[in-house]
Amino acid sequence: MPHLDLVVQVGSPKSVASLLQRVGRAGHSLGQTVEGRVIALDRDELVECAVMLRKAEDGFVDRVFVPENAHDVAAQHVYGMAIAAVRREADVLATLRRAYPYRNYSDDDWERLLRYLTADYEGLEEKNVYAKVWRDTNDPPDGEHHYEDFPVGEPLLGKRGRLARVIYMTNLGTIPDSFTCEVRTRQGEEWVGTLDEDYLDTLEKGDVFVLGGERFAYRYRRGSKVYVDRTSKEATVPSWFSERLPLSYDLGREIGSFQAELLDRLDAGGPPAVREWLREFPVDENAVRAITRLFDEQRRYAGADSVATDRRFVVEETLDRETYRRHFYVHSTFGRRFNDGLSRLVAARCANRSNANVQIAVADNGFSLSMPLNRKVDVAGALAELDPETVREDLRDALAETDLLKRYFRINATRALMILKRYKGYEKSAAQQQVSAEMLLSFADDLEEFAVMEETYREIVEDKLNVAAVEDALAALETGDFEVVTKRVDSPTPRAFGLATLLASDVVLAEDESAVLREFHERVMESIDDAESSERSNVDG
């Protein structure tokens, strides 16, 4: 590591651990002082970075969440042990359970995994997915011990196929391949550009996005090709926001706690008290004043209870008569993974009740829902009615036939060696893997407790959508330890500006976003001024 005097971090690194890792490159020697500067890119990030820096000084580090009972990685290890030698089944399972992520690997999980590895499903080999191991007892019909090292009747595992070792060594690994998708029009298949496959996770049929300065309505995807129609409708999906790192869940909880304490100080001593407190944080005077002004404007415009905390969700509703849309901004500080999972549950319930397509945009400090103006839905009620006991099943239902499910199935099928990246000198690209995965998906989804399918749902629900945290929050709602506050406003509140720009139809470039933010701010300040003038007139009268 070369010597660095100072690290300048542009934008939030989204976790204390990432902050320490990046800034720690300066002063990277024994006895040296780590020095860094963080430049926040907007007011939401300013709040985030202030809390992050304070927690870093306090010695706080985000927890590490380890994926547990992943069938695809287990398949690689069990297959590898079987290739090395014939083994007792009990020994293989015991070895697997000695690894921390598999310490709770149940007998049912084991049976599910071996059903896949032995291809014990009707029609599976017809799909060119062959058995990788054999499973039998050391009890041959002729009475002779085929394996003298094991007692008679002992359940054993061994490899299947002459090329097992070559297949294993050339396809081993857990890092998924990725690719960009060609975007083509349905009529004439005209090429109009490319999209990263991660971006497709946010798209549903009918969503409108901007590419190359033109607007396109998403229709469907086939392998590595995305088919669209040109449209004059306003964009409904923001551009490229999916590329940003997600906020740490633990840091999100700390931000919620910070906002609760700031509101208490604002209520007790006004802006001067807040500024005095914020000067204890490792931020400059401009940041102190900007954060104070943000929450003061929020309180004056919509009340102190319009701010989300570690014990409160806030739902804002605004009517956009120009685009004939009804927008809901749900404030939640717990990070994009949490908000992505919760938004899918709320959107599914709202779509069923309104019989309309509900568009979603997700950020670290909340999520937005948008639907036609003539559809009226109680989003706060839908949120409060979610049952923590059925969240996992509800999320599975919401994932059906989504591009997110298709992509993760490809990733898990490749990890589990169900789809081979390399075979007999031929290499299959990520796009070709996706085509193979989509041909297998409907078949695999119909199989009973198929290990690769179960792992696909587990990875999405647990690792990507943070279902455990969603369950905890909904359970707290049931017991009254959490609350949902609803606000009906003429313009998005200052804390919702970031969410509102995600849904703003004319936000394509950074300059456009700045213009929209200025417009939102002017509308809020006009409302505050009008309210204060009215209050002064009443007092004078």
The answer to whether the CB of 209 falls within 8 A of the CB of 215 is yes
pLDDT in tens, the chain (541 residues): 678 889 999 999 999 999 999 998 898 888 888 899 999 988 999 999 999 999 999 999 999 999 999 999 999 999 999 999 999 999 999 999 999 999 999 999 999 999 999 999 999 999 999 999 999 877 765 555 567 777 777 899 999 988 999 999 999 999 888 888 889 999 888 998 888 877 777 777 888 888 877 889 999 888 788 999 998 877 766 655 444 678 999 999 999 999 999 999 999 999 999 999 999 999 999 999 999 999 999 999 999 999 999 999 999 999 988 888 899 999 999 999 999 999 999 999 999 988 888 888 899 999 999 999 998 899 999 999 999 999 999 999 989 888 899 999 999 999 999 999 999 889 998 889 999 999 999 999 999 899 999 999 999 999 999 999 999 999 999 999 999 999 999 999 999 998 888 766 444 444 556 776 777 778 788 877 776 666 655 555 5
Count of CB atoms situated within 10 Å of the CB of 211: 17
Q: For the purposes of burial, counting CB atoms within 10 Å of the CB of 85, is it exposed (0-12), middle (13-18) or buried (19 or more)?
A: exposed
Distances (CA, A) of 200 to 133, 182, 196, 242, 271: 36, 12, 7, 9, 43
Q: How far apart are CA 455 and CA 385, in angstroms?
A: 28
CA separation for the pair 501, 510 (Å, rounded)? 11
Distances (CA, A) of 432 to 76, 78, 443, 536: 22, 27, 18, 69
Q: What is the pLDDT of residue 337?
A: 95
Single-letter amino acid, residue 234: E
Residue 124 has which token pair?
Answer: 């599976």
Percent of the chain surpassing pLDDT 70 = 92
Q: What's the rounded Cα separation, in Å, for the pair 250 and 200?
A: 27
Q: Which residues, 6+ apart, have CB-to-CB distance to 411 below 8 Å?
A: 176, 456, 459
How many C-beta atoms surround the C-beta of residue 369 within 10 A? Answer: 24
Q: What is the pLDDT of residue 508?
A: 44
| Per-residue confidence (pLDDT) for residue 196, from 0 to 100 | 81
pLDDT of residue 361: 86
- To the nearest 10°, report the CA torsion of 493, 498, 499, 505: 110
User: For 102-129, what is the HEC assignment?
Assistant: HCCCCHHHHHHHHHHHCCCCCCCHHHCC
Residue 29 vs residues 3, 4, 33, 34, 240: alpha-carbon distances, Å: 8, 10, 8, 9, 38
Q: How far is CA 36 from CA 7, 10, 181, 278, in A?
A: 5, 11, 38, 19
